[in-house]
Amino acid sequence: MAKITFITKDNETITVEGDSGNVMQLAVNNSIEGIDGDCGGVCSCATCHVFVAEKDFEKVGEAGEIEADMLELEDNVSEFSRLCCQIQVSNAIDGIELTVAKED
């Protein structure tokens, strides 16, 4: 079981729990504003962009090759950017904080 905290553009802080699947699914299932996941979680649409808190980045790890390329579609990409459909939910990421990137 992992607790994951999302910070939305309205500075709302929402902590949810999950034990399987990917972080995008967890966010959508908890109606986290700004995480759309239009492609269903296959790294094709770049609508689940988050900034991983610096303290947690090591736990989450870097983006894969295609994911890193897809992130370049985004204007406000940072060194802590990830597409959260590519982050698996597991004990290893318990306690992480993710800021939703979408602004509108």
Partner 1 sequence: MSQNKTCVVIGASHAGVNFAFALRKEGWEGDIILFDKDETTPYHRPPLSKKYLELEDSIHNNLLKPVESYKKNNITLALGKEVSRIDKAHKTITLSDGNSQNYDTLVLATGARAFVPPITGINAAKNIFTLRNANDVSGIREAFHASQDKKIVVIGGGYIGLETAASLKKLGAHVSVLEREERILARVTTPYLSAFFTNIHESNGVAICVNKGVTEITLEGEQNTVICADGTSYPADIIIVGVGIRVNTELASEIGLTINNGIEVDTSAKTSHSAIYAIGDCTFHYNKHYNRHVRLESVQNAVDQAKVAAANIVGKDTEYNALPWFWSDQYDIKLQIVGLSLGFDNSVIRKEGDKKFSIWYFKGDELLAVDSINNGKSYVLGTKFIKAGATIDKEKLKDPTSNLKEITKN
**Phi-psi map region of 100: left, alpha, beta (phi>0 left; psi -120 to 50 alpha):** beta
Asked whether the beta carbons of 32 and 100 are under 8 A apart, the reply is yes
Q: Which of 7, 14, 39, 53 binds partner 1 (CB under 8 A)?
A: 39
Shorter beta-carbon distance to partner 1: residue 50 or 70: 70
Task: Please work out, in degrees rounded to the nearest 5, the angle formed at the alpha carbon of residue 87 by the alpha carbons of 70 and 19.
Answer: 155
Q: Is 92 in the site for partner 1 (CB under 8 A)?
A: no
Range in contact with partner 1 (rule: CB under 8 A) among 2-10, 34-42, 53-61, 88-96: 34-42
Which of 26, 8, 13 is closest to 88 using CA atoms? 26
Q: CB under 8 A: which stretch of 1-9, 10-18, 43-51, 84-92 binds partner 1?
A: 43-51
User: What is the binding site for partner 1 (CB under 8 A)?
Assistant: 21, 25, 28-31, 36, 38-45, 65-70, 72-73
